[in-house]
Structure 1
Amino acid sequence: MAAGTPRVFVSHLAGVPVFDPNGDQVGRVRDLVAMLRVGGKPPRLLGMVVEVVSRRRIFVPMTRVTGVESGQVITTGVVNMRRFEQRPTERLVLGEFLDRRVRLVETDEEVTVLDVAIQQLPARRDWEIDKFFVRKGRGGALRRKGETLTVEWSAISGFSLEEHGQGAENLVATFERLRPTDVANALHHLTPKRRAEVAAALDDDRLADVLEELPGDDQVEILGKLAEDRAADVLEAMDPDDAADLLSELPEADKERLLALMRPDDAADVRRLLSYEERTAGGLMTTEPIILRPDATVADALARVRQQDLSPALAAQVYVCRSPDETPTGKYLGTVHFQRLLRDPPFTLVSSIVDSDLVPLTPETPLPAVTSYLAAYNLVSVPVVDESGSLLGAVTVDDVLDHLLPEDWRETDFQGEEGIAGGR
């Protein structure tokens, strides 16, 4: 739902069909999953509970939802078919919010929640609970008497988390305001028990982002305390190179068991990265840079660069390759840097503006040579190409820095967030 479109009331979503990008029906919406936040902020919508044909209920993250309109929900990407399990920090909107008694802040009058509105934040993929449709007076949703009105989230009391306390639920709500690096720093200083509680309460994408910022020992510890199915889900949500680094720290049997539980495409990318030596371009690269075919336009490239889940280093350039356009690709033709995309008209073909002067790296290139290459040419990312000319991935400057900095660099308290990690 684009910014500026009408908000959606959740009662209108109950039972509506959910379709994949090919137009095939996945199932029907049975509920929505939200997370309460501290500081009076509206709850963040995490995803939808969808009942598939087998009557199994699965979780579809809101990051996979591309459309909520005309009595249907459209998703993108592969849907995880594992059974939905509600976590301690999660609230079911239809099951727990509707028909609940709350109070109006201004008058302290008791009202009943009849419906809840959700809205997507401008220029982001995040969704929030926006408004409540309530009825004054006593009685449930079926009672017809009493004035009805629509109010802002801030106009009612009875839902928000309290600021005090150091339970996992409050910690997760507090961490929601922080960058993954700062959450990782706080988690590192928690006791193992508290660390496991918070990790269990985080959603998969958030936990994946945080794990990527933690020292290896903490990563292994947290992953080992998750149920294997969930551990596989989190590994799928991680960048392939980070997932490969984490799996390389595990015993061979554990690594193979988790790879077998992952989706085949995700597991294949990780297995390929595990086949390279750690301190080489192949071992450092990500297999998911922005790849475009020669007939793509500058407008196509800019649309890909704008994707929110891309790191700045990966969004700084696109790689032009012949089909197939997933790694390993067809013949690598060259790179188009972001600044060049901004200088050319939207209809320009990317094949006409590629930079093919710089020789790409081979997967066997050692770390010192990768570092020198990035420094010499003032790059934040560099392509890795095999002997047949296919693009295998790209090495970004942040992955190189991880191997150049002291081992304890992650323990630096950049933002002074020590107070968050209380209860040690």
Structure 2
Amino acid sequence: MAAGAPRIFVSHLSGVAVFDPAGDQVGRVRDLVVMLRMAQRPPRLLGLVVELATRRRIFLPMTRVTAIQSGQVITTGVLNVRRFEQRPTERLVFGELLDRRVTLTETGEEVTVLDLSVHQLPARREWEIDRVFVRKGRKGSAFRRAKGEALTVEWTAVTGFSLEEQGQGAENLLATFEQLRPADLANVLHHLSPKRRAEVAAALDDDRLADVLEELPEDDQIEILGKLKEERAADVLEAMDPDDAADLLGELPTDEQERLLSLMQPGDAADMRRLMSYEDRTAGGLMTTEPIVLRPDATVADALARVRNPDLSPALAAQVYVCRPPDETPTGKYLGTVHFQRLLREPPPSLVSSILDSDLQPLDPDADLPAIAGFFATYDMVAAPVVDEAGSLLGAVTVDDVLDHMLPEDWRETEFHLDEEEVATDGS
């Protein structure tokens, strides 16, 4: 970047694409790494944490950044793909500096850090933080931002960045990542310190936290759940998909399981207990108890209205299950499945009972993982009904749950095709 280039606020760099000189995207910016210095000297910007397409996070030194412009970062074309590991002298801007409570040197007033600006030093390829965007007034909450004057001050006009803060806020970090999918936000949380991870989890609403927990490794799930108040932990478990919540509950001590189940709504607790009664890695243990269930006299229009529910996963929305009453699992007699594509080809007033796929054999709740995987591969399915000996629909297994259990336990940490530590991103 040329000397005299304007400053850049770090919030504008979150998620920005990183390109090589040939114009090929190599990843996205997930954080900035700075080193705090003594005597109130502005911190040096050491580099960027870049997430590759494989979800590996690497360190991109600023010396390999040739330009930051038009919402993109351009690199020299060569990346060290060794996994990023934070050093004791380093600080993550998004993860550790935003939302801090710092003090204005001149007045002694506490303010909240909303953003930071960086700029490149003249005639050098060195960057530093020069200004801090803060808000006066009491600290806000995850749901209500505290009102107060906002102002931009020089780095030297504040103190407190070098101190470990108790109860650091998370509003601005969340705002930075609000557009991320749950799986990507889970990846962000996984790479935060335990203290910061707990603060961010506490600031998320129940539904968002439930979605994120479903994407986290088991150890992170247990850690986060254990730091929530029991009433809230029960609410978050209720908001999770039943099969994922049951898996998480199954990893907890028995007395803790019972305390959380007693705080849940009776219907949700009953679903949890039913799912936990099945062996792990069986259709009963993998299924969700909340598929789309319709009675025989429901119309195609009724089915399409249910499929449009934005809270449904694509796999659960791919088909509906027709059963005699009751139409909540476990249901009355299971009659058959209607696939989404068939619904699109039929007139809206048609009855779903007239277009059933009744030839497809449902899964037995005791079917093991190889049998389930074979079923999905043989019939090209993304979801399958689970039916008991009495012919009642118990739930549905989706392909994502099958994959979760077939992949290695550390699959979220595994990247592929990264055998070389130094690779040229232009393909050479």
How high is the TM-score relative to the length of structure 1? Answer: 0.60
Alignment partner of 1:257 is 2:310: no
Contact 1:281 1:361 in 2 (8 A): yes
Partner of 1:127: none
- Residue from 327, 331, 334 that aligns with 2:336: 334
In 1, Cα distance between equivalents of 2:408 and 2:170? 31
Corresponding residue SS for 1:90: coil
Q: Is the 8 A contact 2:320 2:339 kept in 1?
A: yes
Rounded Cα–Cα distance in structure 2 between residues aligned with 1:337 and 1:174 = 39
Q: 2:293·2:320 contact (CA, 8 Å) conserved in 1?
A: yes
Give the % identical residues: 77
> Contact 2:141–2:169 (CA<8 Å) still a contact in 1?
no
Question: What residue number does 2:144 align with?
Answer: 91
The alpha-carbon deviation at position 409 of structure 1 amounts to: 1.3
* Aligned pairs for 1:144-155 within 5 A: none
1:90 alignment partner AA = F
Rounded to whole Å, the distance in 1 between the matches of 2:306 and 2:207 is 20
Corresponding residue of 1:313: 315
Q: Does 1:298 align with 2:300?
A: yes
- Written as runs of structure 1 = structure 2, the 5 A alignment for 1:46-85 is none
Name the CA distance, whole Å, in 1 between partners of 2:230 and 2:221: 14
- CA contact 1:241–1:284 (8 Å) conserved in 2: yes
Q: Which residue of 1 aligns with 2:384?
A: 382
Greater CA radius of gyration, 1 or 2? 2
1:405 pairs, out of 400, 404, 407, with 407
Q: Aligned-pair distance for 1:187?
A: 0.7
Q: Aligned residue for 2:65? A: none
In the TM superposition, what is the alpha-carbon distance from 1:410 to its structure 2 partner?
Answer: 1.4
Query: Aligned partners of 1:334 and 1:326: how far apart in 2?
Result: 15
Asked whether 1:188 is paired with 2:190, we answer yes
Within 5 Å, give how 1:160-179 maps onto structure 2: 168-179=170-181
Number of paired residues?
A: 265
How far the C-alpha of 1:88 sits from its partner, in A, is 2.3
Query: Normalising by structure 2, what TM-score?
Result: 0.59
Q: Which amino acid is the alignment partner of residue 179 of structure 1?
A: R
2-structure distance, mates of 1:321, 1:327:
10
SS of match in other structure, 1:253: helix
Matched residues in 2 for 1:393 and 1:186: separation? 32
C-alpha RMSD of matched pairs (Å): 2.2
Residues 323-332 or 169-178, more deviating: 169-178
Cα distance between partner residues in 2 of 1:293 and 1:395 = 20
Separation in structure 2 between the aligned mates of residue 234 and residue 320 of structure 1, nearest angstrom: 30
Deviation sequence 1:342-389 (CA, Å, 0-9, x none) = 000000000000000011111000111000000000000000000100
Give the 4+ runs in structure 1 shifted more than 3 A: 100-103
Pairs within 5 Å for 1:77-226: 88-91=141-144, 168-226=170-228
- Output the amino acid matched with 2:258: E
Change (3 A) 1:413 1:200: farther
Q: 1:185, 1:413 within 8 Å by CA — same for their partners in 2?
A: no
Q: What is the rounded CA distance, in whole Å, between the counterparts of 1:413 and 1:367 in structure 2? A: 24
Given that 1:336 and 1:355 are in contact with CA atoms closer than 8 Å, whether structure 2 keeps it comes out as yes
1:273 aligned counterpart, secondary structure: helix
The one-letter amino acid paired with 1:266 is D
Q: Which amino acid aligns with 1:181?
A: A
- Output the amino acid matched with 1:306: R
Alignment of 1:271 onto 2:307: no
| 8 Å Cα contact 1:299/1:347 also seen in 2 | yes
Q: Is the 8 A contact 1:313 1:380 kept in 2?
A: yes
Shift of 1:101: 8.5
CA distance in 2, matches of 1:167, 1:333: 52
| Pairing 1:387-398 to 2, within 5 Å after superposition | 387-398=389-400
